């Protein structure tokens, strides 16, 4: 079998799912070189070479790539930080390794303000009402407050506050979730404004879906829709997280969506793609430059934001059921020849297990935390036994987890996810939950309602109601 060397830049179970998909290639013997944020047990086991770069800085990743340049055919990147920091530009300049991710210029995730202006230009109908408050236009504290309050009057206080830079300040805050008074909005706003421009936009009511697409610079190939569960606790309570789980239905759309919703999303993303691509092709857009968070409303889909990388956990819903060989997909992306990809007609459900402090769980539910287990090793054996029992229908992808002297420990972020694959959402969910419950130790916890029948029915009812407005 032909050997192929692949560089994977990893943070979390999203990259473990990529490594898994490459390792399962039937057309190539994949040798994987992983630059990882930590000693991820899955990646360590699968990789030919593995290096830990805790801050995933571009220079060190590039050094690693350079060291194995003669063995690596291409690279792929999971997390946003190195993409936004221009990893592709540096690696392609310093080595002959082509990278599958957008260049710095096309990593539009880096600026929420630039995204809003871009959407305004090409698809204004999907933008909520928004205003940008830029410290460059600063006059006085009183004036900033006056301008902000005038805008809050127009939106009846129902707003989302978003810093331009995804990593700056206090992050996104939403009326009703993070604040209930004007003063609280102002406080949240100021905490972000200190670092740079802040968007104050209309809060949108609806049901969310995640749109992802592969791109070879010439073609945009939409992937099936997924639904992310952002809030920490059951019934969508608690703070926003990186995502506690997600689901995908058997086909390309979700139970609360119509095919017209999907077509509209594809139309919008193609408009954005064409605007950035210009005439012909633009290899700068290679990878997953468009992972759009959509919200379906009484006025059709609106866009919350765009990310320039695969979603976590959303890509874990898709890679395990990709019918095409993932290595072939990557070669087609590099050749500008990816016109379609095929998926098995399966539903998938991802559930994450996370540490006691994640999402403030230990503070809100102290009585639920098993203190004897905190910081103790996490045992994945039970889940692996189930994966064997159920064949390929369960996948276990460690995330913020570290291998230490033969044992695995949870770090601070999401620890490990289990993907269940089934003929319908509920059977996929049963497998995901069975796998997650078989993971012991570390005082880890998970949401119990990811893809539950009740949760999905609620979304369907909500959309029905919105559509009649």
SS3 22: helix
Structure tokens at 165: 């830079």
Smallest gap, in angstroms, from Cβ of residue 242 to ligand GLY? 6
Asked whether 130 and 313 are in contact (CB, 8 A), the reply is: no
Report the residue number, 102 or 242, with the smaller CB distance to ligand GLY. Answer: 242
Residue closer to ligand GLY, measured from CB, 73 or 208:
208
> Could you tell me where the DSSP H helices lie in 278-359?
326-335
**Closer residue to ligand GLY, CB minimum distance, 42 or 291:** 291
DSSP annotation of 434:
H
Among 312, 402, 434, 449, binds ligand GLY (CB under 6 A): 312
Please pick, from the candidates 212, 307, 408, 459, the single residue that binds ligand GLY as defined by CB under 6 A: 307
C-alpha–C-alpha distance, residues 88 and 82, integer Å: 8
- Binding segment for ligand GLY (CB under 6 A), chosen from 99-107, 277-285, 307-315, 323-331, is 307-315
Count of beta carbons in the 10 Å neighbourhood of residue 132: 16
**In this complex, which beta carbon is closest to ligand GLY, that of residue 265 or of residue 314?**
314
Alpha-carbon torsion, ordered 444, 445, 451, 457, to 10 deg: 180
Nearest approach in angstroms of CB 220 to ligand GLY is 19
Q: Is 316 a binder of ligand GLY (CB under 6 A)?
A: no
By CB under 6 A, tell whether 311 contacts ligand GLY.
Answer: yes
- Nearest residue to ligand GLY on Cβ basis: 243
Distance CA 463, CA 469 (A): 10
Distance (Å, whole) CA 410 – CA 116: 37
- Minimum CB separation of residue 138 from ligand GLY in Å reads 30
From residue 264 to residue 303, the character string flagging contacts with ligand GLY as x (rule: CB under 6 A) and all else as - is ----------------------------------------
127 in contact with ligand GLY (CB under 6 A): no
| Residues 418-440: b if buried by 16+ CB within 10 A, e if exposed | bbbbbeebebbbebbbbbbbbbe
Contact between 243 and ligand GLY per CB under 6 A = yes
Shortest Cβ 14–ligand GLY spacing (Å): 8
In angstroms, rounded to a whole number, what is the distance separating the alpha carbons of residues 243 and 171?
15
Residue 173, interface with ligand GLY (CB under 6 A)?
no
Pairing of strands 2-10, 28-36: parallel
Which one of the spans 62-70, 258-266, 269-277, 310-318 is the region binding ligand GLY (CB under 6 A)?
310-318
Paired tokens of 216: 């070879």
Please answer whether residues 399 and 414 qualify as being in contact, where contact means their C-beta atoms are separated by less than 8 angstroms: yes
Smallest distance, ligand GLY to C-beta of residue 84, A: 13
Treating both helix axes as pointing N-terminal to C-terminal, what angle do 58-67 and 87-94 enclose, rounded to 10 degrees? 30
- The CB-of-11 to ligand GLY minimum distance in angstroms stands at 11
Residue from 31, 225, 228, 249 in contact with ligand GLY (CB under 6 A):
228
Of 265-273, 308-316, 416-424, 459-467: span binding ligand GLY (CB under 6 A) = 308-316
Considering the complex, state which of residue 222 and residue 242 has its C-beta at the smaller distance from ligand GLY. Answer: 242
Q: What's the token pair of residue 211?
A: 């749109």
Burial of 310 (0-12, 13-18, 19+ CB in 10 A): buried
Rg of the Cα atoms in the chain:
22
Residues that bind ligand GLY (CB under 6 A): 228, 242-243, 307, 311-312, 314
């Amino acid at each position: 079998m032909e050997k192929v060397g692949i560089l994977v830049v990893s943070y979390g179970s999203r990259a473990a799912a990529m490594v898994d998909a490459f390792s399962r290639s039937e057309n190539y013997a994949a040798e994987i070189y992983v630059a990882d944020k930590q000693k991820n047990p899955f990646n360590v086991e699968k990789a030919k070479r593995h290096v830990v770069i805790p801050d995933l800085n571009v220079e060190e990743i590039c050094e690693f790539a350079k060291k194995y340049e003669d063995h690596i055919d291409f690279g792929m990147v999971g997390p946003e930080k190195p993409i936004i920091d221009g990893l592709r530009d540096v690696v392609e300049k310093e080595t002959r390794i082509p990278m599958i991710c957008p260049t710095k210029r096309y990593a539009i995730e880096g600026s929420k303000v630039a995204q809003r202006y871009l959407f305004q230009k090409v698809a204004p109908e999907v933008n909520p009402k928004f205003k940008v408050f830029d410290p460059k236009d600063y006059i006085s504290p009183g004036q900033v407050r006056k301008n902000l309050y005038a805008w809050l009057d127009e939106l009846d206080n129902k707003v989302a506050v978003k810093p331009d830079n995804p990593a700056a300040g206090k992050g996104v805050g939403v009326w009703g979730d993070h604040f209930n008074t004007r003063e609280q909005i102002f406080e949240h706003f100021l905490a972000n404004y200190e670092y740079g421009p802040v968007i104050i936009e209309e809060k949108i009511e609806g049901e969310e879906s995640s749109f992802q697409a592969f791109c070879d610079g010439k073609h945009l190939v939409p992937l099936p829709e997924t639904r992310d569960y952002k809030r920490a606790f059951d019934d969508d309570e608690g703070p926003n997280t990186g995502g506690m789980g997600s689901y995908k239905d058997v086909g390309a759309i979700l139970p609360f969506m119509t095919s017209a919703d999907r077509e509209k999303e594809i139309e919008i993303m193609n408009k954005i793609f064409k605007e950035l691509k210009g005439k012909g092709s633009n290899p700068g857009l290679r990878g997953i430059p468009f992972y759009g968070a959509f919200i379906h409303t009484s006025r059709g889909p609106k866009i919350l934001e765009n990310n320039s990388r695969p979603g976590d956990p959303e890509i874990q819903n898709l890679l395990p059921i990709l019918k095409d060989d993932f290595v072939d997909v990557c070669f087609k992306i590099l050749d500008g020849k990816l016109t379609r990809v095929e998926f098995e007609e399966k539903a998938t459900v991802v559930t994450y297990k996370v540490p006691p402090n994640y999402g403030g769980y230990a503070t809100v539910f102290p009585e639920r935390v098993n203190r004897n287990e905190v910081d103790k090793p996490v045992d994945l054996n039970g889940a692996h036994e189930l994966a064997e029992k159920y064949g390929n229908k369960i996948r276990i992808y460690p995330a913020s987890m570290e291998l230490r002297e033969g044992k695995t420990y949870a770090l601070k972020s999401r620890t490990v996810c289990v993907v269940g694959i089934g003929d319908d959402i509920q059977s996929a969910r049963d497998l995901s939950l069975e796998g997650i419950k078989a993971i012991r130790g570390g005082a880890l916890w998970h949401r119990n309602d990811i893809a539950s029948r009740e949760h999905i029915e609620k979304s369907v009812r909500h959309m029905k109601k919105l559509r009649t407005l």
